[in-house]
A and B are shown apart, each in its own frame.
Chain A
Amino acid sequence: MIRLVTFLLIVWGMMLLGGGVAVIILGGFEPWYDELGFVGEILKVVIAILLVTLWVVSLSAVKNHIFGGMARH
């Protein structure tokens, strides 16, 4: 249960930090994306997918570290 609560808190922290990274990368260069027009929007989609993938991979690594052998398949 302690491991589960720890994992829950870490995921929450990762959500906040991941959101921050997304805001900096996607929101911080807003004028630049706007200048590119449709290509900029597509670029945003690609970056968003990459960020989410990176986030999920990190989450999976944290899960394996916290729960050990039971979580590994």
Chain B
Amino acid sequence: MTELFIPGIISCVIAFVVVYFCTPPLISYLQNKNITVRDVNKSGVVMVARPGGPVILFGIISSGMILYIFLQSSEILAILLVCVLAFAVGFVDDRRIMGRWFKPVALGVAATPILLLGVYDANITFPLFGVIHTPIVYVGVVIFMILVTGNTVNSIDVLNGAASGFMVIAGISLSVSLFILQNYEIALVCLLLVCVSLAFYKYHKIPSRIFPGDSGALVLGGMYGAIAIVGNVEVVAAVAILPAVLNSFFFLSSVKRIVEHRQIQARPVLHTKDMKIAAATDAAAPFTLVRIITSSHPMSEHQVVMMIFKLAILSGVLAVITAIMMTGAIIDVMTDVLTSTMNGMVNSMMTSMVTGMVDVLMSAMLSEMLNVMSATALAGYTMEHVVESVPDMVMVSVPDMVIST
């Protein structure tokens, strides 16, 4: 692990510095070229530069290549290739309005580097219960994972700083989980994701100066999914981004089809006069995470984002607990506790049973002896007569018994 320390530090610093210092020139460039979109959660017309995907990809590739030079790992290469393909899908979607099936299908294609380089283990590990070996099912899992993570991160990118901040929290919890599971190389790659997201958050947080766009969100989500597959932590990764996954689930279960956000007629949230976000009362409006959060009362954009971050922290903690469960440490502790409890119970039961048996036996023997003695006394016989009249007297010996306490 110590040999990974220097490459890890260098690549993380490069990831952060590249994004931190390259984003302002990109913002200026996009504003000069008038490549901006309106921030709908602000009063008045506030135009924000978009997309920030190129700088996110540049940060990941530059730092990832440094890590690849040090470690020469095909897993890192596969993750970087997935990022490039996910960026291409997102960039096309940023520049042109594509069909509703474009992103899901194209993101599935973005998973091909993992399959072609064979950098996956066809075992799905579930905490507490064990492993499933499914070579054919796992190919579907690889494609599905990239598709889901990419789209869910994109779906949560509706408020200033939500996607990048969410990825910082989810990335940290996944890194910790990978360290717990002793998968150090992939944990370092996950730290690159954290550093890139953190540097981008500086410009993406409220009030945003740049939006990541589809290209940025899909790169972050695609990289996260690739790390989950290559690191063999699919379940942990899914738990860490549970709020985003649930957001997509809520949305899909309410609209009941794959649809682009621009095609939605009824909006899930509305704006009050003071630009607070309120849940829509229209029954036909899609059911989303932001709508649930604002269902009790209208909130400012900052408050909603903080709520999402709190949920991300909770799911991050659950992900780390899941990772600990996967190590088997909890199973060992539970086994020890159960064994000692059972031992104690068995010992006390055996002790009471043996004591009871001895008591019963002794009292029966004594009563029998007393009966015999009283009968002989009444008949006027002595003990010598008794012994002579019963020559076949059976001598019963009680075996030695060990009573453990």
In the complex the two chains form, is A8's CB within 8 Å of B311's CB? yes
Interface residue? B5 (CB, 8 A): no
Interface residue? B235 (CB, 8 A): yes
**Interface SS of chain A: helix, strand, loop or mixed?**
helix
**Interface SS of chain B: helix, strand, loop or mixed?**
helix
Neighbouring B residues of A42 by C-beta, 8 Å: 136
Neighbouring A residues of B101 by C-beta, 8 Å: none
Closest to B325 in A: A16
Interface residue? B79 (CB, 8 A): no
Query: In whole angstroms, what is the CA distance A17 to B278 when docked?
Result: 36
B311 to chain A, nearest CB (A): 7
B226 to chain A, nearest CB (A): 21
In the complex the two chains form, is B246's CB within 8 Å of A23's CB? no
Interface residue? B135 (CB, 8 A): yes
In the complex the two chains form, is A8's CB within 8 Å of B243's CB? yes
Chain A, interface residues (CB within 8 Å), range? 20 to 34
> A4-B311, A60-B253, A73-B253 known; A27 and B296 CB under 8 Å?
no
Within 8 A of A (CB), among B126-181: 126-137, 140
Interface residue? A50 (CB, 8 A): no
Interface residue? B338 (CB, 8 A): no
Q: Which of B136, B243, B287, B315 contacts A41 (CB 8 A)?
A: B136
Closest to A67 in B: B292
Query: In whole angstroms, what is the CA distance A27 to B128 when docked?
Result: 13
In the complex the two chains form, is A15's CB within 8 Å of B287's CB? no
Q: Digit string of B18-45 for contact with A (CB within 8 Å is 1, else 0)?
A: 0000000000000000000000000000
Neighbouring B residues of A41 by C-beta, 8 Å: 134-136
> A4-B293, A12-B242, A12-B318 known; A27 and B132 CB under 8 Å?
yes
In the complex the two chains form, is A15's CB within 8 Å of B239's CB? yes
Closest to A42 in B: B136
Q: Which of A44, A70, A73 contacts B295 (CB 8 A)?
A: A70
In the complex the two chains form, is A19's CB within 8 Å of B129's CB? yes
Q: Which of B129, B133, B291, B314 contacts A5 (CB 8 A)?
A: B314
> A12-B242, A63-B253 known; A1 and B132 CB under 8 Å?
no
Neighbouring A residues of B256 by C-beta, 8 Å: 73
Q: Which of A12, A16, A22, A44 contacts B128 (CB 8 A)?
A: A16
- 8 more A-B contacts (CB under 8 A) besides A11-B242, A19-B127, A45-B137? A19-B126, A22-B126, A26-B132, A26-B134, A27-B132, A44-B137, A67-B292, A71-B250
Q: Which residues of A contact B (CB under 8 A)?
A: 1, 3-5, 7-9, 11-12, 15-16, 19-20, 22-24, 26-27, 30, 41-42, 44-45, 48, 59-60, 63, 67, 70-71, 73
Q: Name 15 A/B residue pairs within 8 A (Cβ), A-sorted.
A: A4-B292, A12-B239, A15-B239, A19-B126, A19-B235, A22-B132, A23-B132, A27-B133, A41-B134, A41-B136, A44-B136, A45-B136, A59-B249, A67-B287, A71-B250
